[in-house]
Amino acid sequence: MQLDLVLFNFVNNLANYKLIGWLAIFFAKYLAFFALALLVFIWLGEKQIAKRWNFAFLTLLSLVLSRGVVVPLIRSFYNRLRPEAVLKNINVLINHDRDFSFPSGHASFFFALALAIFYFDKKWGLVYFLIAILVVFSRIVVGVHWPTDILFGALIGLLSAFLVRKFLVKGH
């Protein structure tokens, strides 16, 4: 996948700029904690109890399906090595487990989360899509994912939230 390599090298080389590298480390490692804290705030801010529980149910099922079922299933039969295991002289800014990289668990998680939130509140959903983009883009900058890991992880997350809403969580 030559295009994957070219895109990875371009994005990963952005880490050579100190500010971008620092931001990428923050987004890749810590933005998730802020996003989850904000999620609790959004959830508790919903006044209608039924809507609050539907929102929680949709969010939880979407995350479990995408990150807890589909990603591990694919990784169990497709063993794609992370960039640092394949390439030399790249920017690796965070420590990461030596597990497989395809598809991105972070991308599946954050895009499932963003779409689930979007279904209940468009404005907060757009905020979470921005968070998802910052997190997953930074995963390439810091050297732990290939662009196609991110792309397929995002698709898995979006599809998971869509399917859960269509077949399991009705109305809100």
Taking only the tens place, the pLDDT of each residue in 107-160 is: 999 999 999 999 999 999 999 999 999 999 999 999 999 999 999 999 999 999
**Cα gap 161→133, rounded to integer Å:** 17
With 60 as the cut, is the pLDDT of residue 12 above it? yes
Q: Is the pLDDT of residue 172 over 90?
A: no
Q: How far is the C-alpha of 120 from the C-alpha of 33, rounded, in Å?
A: 21
pLDDT tens, 69-111? 999 999 999 989 888 888 888 877 777 777 788 999 999 999 9
Cis peptide before 83 (omega within 30 of 0): no
Structure tokens at 110: 């954050």
Across all residues in the chain, what is the average pLDDT? 91
More confident residue, 97 or 44: 44
Burial class (CB in 10 A: 0-12, 13-18, 19+), 64: middle
For residue 125, the model assigns a pLDDT of: 96
Cβ atoms of residues 147 and 139 within 8 Å = no
Query: In this structure, what token pair is assigned to residue 119?
Result: 């279904």
> Rg for the chain (alpha carbons), in Å?
17
Structural contact between residues 28 and 139, judged by C-beta atoms closer than 8 angstroms: yes
Predicted TM-score of the model (pTM): 0.91
**Six-digit token pair at 46?**
């919903």
| Tokens 């099922």, residue located | 61
Just give the CATH number of 2-167.
Answer: 1.20.144.10
pLDDT at 130: 97
Tell me the H-state helices in the chain: 2-12, 18-29, 31-45, 49-63, 71-77, 83-86, 105-120, 122-141, 147-167
Q: Where are the domains of the chain?
A: 2-167
